[in-house]
Structure 1
């Protein structure tokens, strides 16, 4: 990923926060048949390894897990993103030398991926992933709420994955390269948008 210095994010806690905020990731592997990608919710275990470890699962029918990866896999996490109009820059009125751009957050997690179908490991991964997303609910659902035989039958239809992160790349492109006045203009423009992602991006612009 191309990351100019102004947009580089290297703080591990911030990177982990960006990954948790995204939830869904794209798992990409290079194979002898070409690149393969699958959108997946992934669970971050932050204390496993120097950069953390990712867990998730794929449908057993998904061919990605059967195709041996060539080198490391990559999980792509995307955060809030927003179109930035040049009309929001006060500098437009001064000299007109402005163009549109796009603000966004992205994290690329690289590492060797392992696929597994051990029932106990699968149940643990599914339970932890479910608990992570159900926890904020007033009445959280638990895997144990379903009949055990039914859960076991569902586990036979998936394959687990474990990806110990060997390298993290983070990019937070939120108008840091603009003047304080231009950043304030962008934040105000996005905050007034009807689009939830625009408003989320507005809150991330440094002022």
Structure 2
């Protein structure tokens, strides 16, 4: 991922925050048939290793899990936004400005492992469900569905885990602009995610 020095994000807390709040990752994998991409919710776990692991699951019919031990790339993206030259107060004095695009992305490199363990999967699914249902007045939980139905669904999926070998962030948030122009961008940016990252 091309990242000029002023857009490099090294703060691990910021990277994990972006991933936790935007778990639908694009998984890119080189397969025997060429490049393949899948959108899969992935969740970071501290397994005691240096960078941790990502965990998720895919349909058993999805060939992604059959490429176990393969290198894989996971991309997590927060909001993005077009930046108009009109946001820059400096334009009034110097018209040499052009539009750009602001965004925040985390790139994870790692090695894929398939996990065919019903207990592991059920634990993961309970954790995922609890996280996303937490704000509901009456949160749905897996135990609300008939046990035999859940067993059937579990048989149709496979767990995946990515042992992380590299974790890189690119937060392109007008850091190459003056403080005045950055304030102008922040005042006109609609994405609360991007504004929050800019104001750190």
Bucket of the pairwise TM-score, normalised by the shorter protein: over 0.9
1:203 CA displacement:
3.5
Please list, as runs of the form range in 1=range in 2, the aligned pairs for 1:82-161 lying within 5 A after superposition: 82-161=81-160
1:187 CA displacement:
1.3
The alignment partner of 1:136 has SS state of coil
Please tell me whether the aligned partners of residues 44 and 53 of structure 1 are also in contact (alpha carbons under 8 angstroms).
yes
Residue deviations 1:178-205, cap 9 Å, x none? 10111111111224xxxxxx34323432
Task: Kindly report the root-mean-square deviation, in angstroms, between the aligned alpha carbons of the 2 structures.
Answer: 1.7
Matched, 1:46 2:39: no
The alignment partner of 1:204 has SS state of helix
TM-score, scaled relative to structure 2: 0.92
1:20 CA displacement:
0.6
1:123 CA displacement:
1.3
1:68 CA displacement:
5.3
Once superposed, which parts of structure 1, at least 4 consecutive aligned residues long, lie more than 3 Å away?
none
| Structure 1 Cα separation of the partners of residues 82 and 138 of structure 2 | 37
Where do 5+ consecutive residues of structure 1 fail to align?
Answer: 192-197
The alignment partner of 1:78 has SS state of strand
106 and 74 in structure 1: CA distance in 2 versus 1, 3 angstrom threshold: same
| Structure 2 Cα separation of the partners of residues 182 and 44 of structure 1 | 35
Aligned length: 200
1:65 CA displacement:
2.0
Residue deviations 1:69-96, cap 9 Å, x none? 6x42111100121110011111111111
The alignment partner of 2:49 has SS state of coil
- For residue 184 of structure 1, what is the aligned residue in structure 2? 183
| Structure 1 Cα separation of the partners of residues 83 and 72 of structure 2 | 32
Please tell me whether the aligned partners of residues 45 and 54 of structure 2 are also in contact (alpha carbons under 8 angstroms).
yes
